[in-house]
Chain A
Amino acid sequence: MSQQLRVNPIACTGHGVCAELLPERVILDEWGYPVISPEPIPPALRKAARRAVTDCPALALLLSGHQRAW
């Protein structure tokens, strides 16, 4: 089951912690907000992705199984 990282753009206030923890999937745009790559999260990145979700100060990230309706 592949996982997908998604941001709640309303909760997100652009802290940027996610981009530091998961640079393989997240970069910051010129206004400080995350641009998240739509590629699924491979097993090697799972731990970092989970950490990004837990560490986001705004709790704005979601990690989800690919087929689940969010």
Chain B
Amino acid sequence: MNASHVLPRHDRHARPGDPSRLLQAMDLDAHLAAYGPPPYGGRQLIEVVAAAGLTGRGGAGFPAARKLTAVAEAGRRAVVVGNGAESEPASRKDQQLLWTAPHLVLDGLQLAAEAVGTTRAYLYVNAHPGFPEQLGSALAARAAAGLDRARVQLVTAPPRFLAGEESAVVSRINGGPAIPRFKVPPVFRRGVAGAPTLVHNVETLAHLAQIARYGANWFRAAGTSAEPGTMLATCWRADGTVEVVETAIGVPLGELLRLGELPAQAVLVGGYHGTWLTSGRAATLPLANAGLRPAGAAVGAGLLAALPHGRCGVAEAVRVVRYLAAESAGQCGPCFNGLPRIAAGLAELARPRPRPRLRADLERWAGLAERRGACHHPDGSVRFLRSTLAIFGTELTAHARGKCSATSHRPFFPVPAGVPASQADWI
């Protein structure tokens, strides 16, 4: 598989006039010509990042400056990790960024390392074909140019849904499987090799690299005052195309997904731990938490997927939930007991004449699974399940009678097949 097959064409603008900041393809020479070397300057960076209001772009949306401060103040020699695992199967933005503009990410990694006072850094990426090699040569080029002060080690993530979870990242870098661990003590206190560890999504690092050069006001020139800046969004449109779009925060979903020209029956916001919205609702909502939270959704890592008419949302959801169950790390009783039963239950609910108590069972298992694991996998999976039951009620009723409104049963969302079965699958 070559790069153009793996990575989609990307749109540089969501609409004319929007800033295009991150996704400009540059090798090291072009990067240095455009940006110069990393503006090493020390602790003040954290203040600038705080003023800019940069939040994590990996899905949790935690204020970046607070994480930096927590690790910088931890008092012992820290470790910085750029998280590019992008374990959500439908998300493409981190891959696109790393392929197109790796040096922005690597600048950000260097600057973050300096800000917390360390020279130990890691870049954690999926082993897509060609990726580790590409990034390895980018690092080598920087080393040859004497750009980097922190030593960066490349670590590959297994193709597991949880591999990008913060504590799973740390576990993998420590040489073990990429499974989450209990958050006491938290990763920013004890992480890689027992050291305070800062884990930032690669897109967050890229923004950081630009904020360091252009300042907080520049960053705030786009987006909303509560949620400033631009972000990368992976847009699955109803015509089956997928594009990574760089957009100001707050742009309506209808524009990003072109729902006007490419109508959909429903929109999944936030990937497989996300929430379904009806197409009509989605069209008017902005890609911003202020607008999405009242609808029960969140910006997350900017993954938007429109389900076209003629497809079966229930069937898609059954495949997704089975995948989510299969990807449990198998560590916490409520998760590895609840999710497989939920998956089987939803599959049964999608078949004709489900037994009468099935809904009650599903809701009970959902209630038992959520918030009782060491990570948020059961919570997100339950959120997706409940959202499916709410949005596709009509379809489920039809299914119970043996009917389905879909005209095509080809899978629409990418759901990897197979169930991880041994420890080797997590390394």
A–B touch (CB < 8 A): the answer is: yes
Q: What residues of chain A have their CB less than 8 Å away from a CB belonging to chain B? A: 8-14, 29-33, 35, 62, 69-70
Give the A-B contact count at a CB cut-off of 8 A. Answer: 43
Picked from B181, B332, B368, the residue with its CB within 8 Å of the CB of A12 is B332
| CB under 8 Å from chain A, chain B span 371-422 | 372-374
Write the nearest CB–CB distance from B183 to chain A, whole angstroms. Answer: 8
State A70–B368 Cα separation when bound (angstroms): 23
Which residues of B306-351 are within 8 A (CB) of A?
A: 331-335, 337-338
**Chain B residues in the interface with A (C-beta under 8 A):** 181-186, 331-335, 337-338, 368, 372-374
B334 and A10 within 8 A (CB): no
A29–B372 CA distance with the chains assembled, in angstroms = 11
Q: Bound complex: CA of A9 vs CA of B181, how far in Å?
A: 9
- Contacts A8-B374, A9-B374, A35-B372 given; indicate if A70 touches B184 (C-beta within 8 A): yes
- CB-based contact A10/B337 at 8 Å: no
Residues from chain A with a CB closer than 8 A to the CB of B183 are: 70
A33 to B185, CA, bound (A): 23
**Among the interface residues A13, A14, A29, which one has the most CB atoms of the partner chain B within 10 A?**
A29
Check if A11 sits within 8 Å of B182, measured CB to CB.
Answer: yes
Task: From A33, A62, A69, A70, give the contact of B333 (CB < 8 A).
Answer: A33
The DSSP consensus for interface residues of chain B is loop
- Given A33-B333, A62-B184: A9 and B368 interface contact (C-beta under 8 Å): no
Q: Give Cα distance in the complex from A56 to B374, angstroms.
A: 18
Cβ contact within 8 Å between B184 and A10: no
Residues of B with C-beta under 8 A to A13: 333
Decide if A9 touches B184 in the complex (CB within 8 Å): no
In the complex, what residues of B have CB within 8 A of residue A10's CB? 181-182, 331-332, 374
Given contacts A29-B368, A30-B368, A33-B372, contact A12 B184 (CB under 8 A): no
Which A residue sits closest to B329, measured CB to CB? A10
CA distance A68 to B258 in the complex (A): 47
Q: How far, in angstroms, from A70 to B374 measured CA to CA in the complex? A: 13
7 interchain residue pairs of minimum CB distance: A33-B333, A9-B332, A31-B337, A10-B331, A8-B182, A70-B184, A10-B374
Can you list 12 A-B contacts (CB < 8 A)? A8-B182, A9-B182, A9-B332, A9-B335, A9-B372, A10-B182, A10-B331, A11-B182, A14-B333, A31-B337, A33-B372, A70-B183
CA gap between A6 and B332 in the complex, in Å: 14
- Closest residue of A by beta carbon distance from B335: A9
**Least Cβ distance of B95 to chain A in Å?**
30
Which of B186, B338, B372 has its CB near the most chain A CB atoms (within 10 A)?
Answer: B372
Residues of B within 8 A of A69 (CB): 186
Q: Bound state CA distance, A35 and B374, in angstroms?
A: 14
* CB–CB A31/B182 < 8 A: no
Nearest-CB residue, chain B, relative to A7:
B372
A9 touches B337 (CB 8 A): no
Residue in A8, A11, A29, A62 whose CB lies within 8 Å of B334: A29
Q: Which residues from A are CB-within-8-Å of B333?
A: 9, 12-14, 29, 31-33
* CA of A14 to CA of B335, assembled, Å: 13
A33 in complex: contacting residue of B181, B184, B334, CB < 8 Å: B334
Known contacts A9-B332, A10-B181, A13-B333; 9 further A-B pairs (Cβ under 8 A)? A9-B182, A9-B373, A12-B332, A29-B334, A29-B368, A32-B333, A33-B334, A33-B337, A62-B184
Q: Please name all residues of chain A whose beta carbon is closer than 8 Å to the beta carbon of B182 when the two chains form the complex.
A: 8-11
Contact partners of B373 in chain A: CB under 8 A: 9
Q: How many angstroms from the CA of A44 to the CA of B394 in the assembled complex?
A: 51
Q: Return chain A residues, CB-CB under 8 Å to B338.
A: 31
- The residues of A that contact B337 with a CB separation of less than 8 Å are 31, 33
A28 to B372, CA, bound (A): 12
Question: What CA separation (Å) do A8 and B372 show in the bound complex?
Answer: 9
| Closest beta carbon of chain B to A6's beta carbon, Å | 8
CB distance from A7 to the nearest CB of B (A): 8
Which of chain B's residues have a CB closer than 8 A to the CB of A12? 332-333
Whole-angstrom distance between the alpha carbons of A14 and B368 in the complex? 14
A26–chain B nearest beta-carbon distance, Å: 13
Q: A8, B368: Cβ atoms under 8 Å?
A: no
